[in-house]
Amino acid sequence: MATDLLKFAPSFYGMTMVPKEIWREYGYALLCIAGSDGDVSDPELEWLIIDLAESLHVDEEIIGDWEEFEYEEADLEEIFFSFRHASFANFNKLLIYDAIRMSSADGDYAEEEKESVAQACKILQVSREALVSIEALVDIEQAAHKLRLTVL
């Protein structure tokens, strides 16, 4: 059913239609990881509900669910199992990429967040080498953003 799908930026994520429920769970997973340091900071939450949600055209209903989600009580492995992450090519790596971007949004990619990302990699079967590459990619993107702000 078309109303159960979200259409979004295929040039960035490499997919065009994803069931809405997957984005709900995707956001829950990101909240669990970013909150593993004890707090989802305002910049981290803004990254999720503004930056990511707007780029993916996420429904207000899902954003509301993200804002009310009790990440402290959630089980990351259960969340991953619930949205069958393996059904989309590269979905696991995209989730790790977004988890690092969200966790870094406040300027502090805390040790607890890094440990939670590493745990997510184990659950999602993303290799250590891939994790290091994804972290380097995020670092490069952040440096390019800072440079753009400085130059322009």
- Total tally of structural domains belonging to the chain: 1
Which of 26-30, 53-57, 114-118 is least confident? 53-57
**Structure-derived torsion over alpha carbons of residues 101, 21, 61, 28, reported in degrees to the nearest 10:** -40
pTM: 0.87
Across the chain, mean pLDDT equals: 87
What is the per-residue pLDDT across 113-150, written as a single tens digit (0 to 9) for each?
999 999 999 999 999 999 999 999 999 999 999 999 99
Question: 70 is in which domain, residue-wise?
Answer: 2-151
What's 52's domain CATH number? 1.10.3680.10
Which helix (H) or strand (E) is 12 found in, with range? helix 10-13
Specify which residues 7 forms β-bridges with. Answer: 17
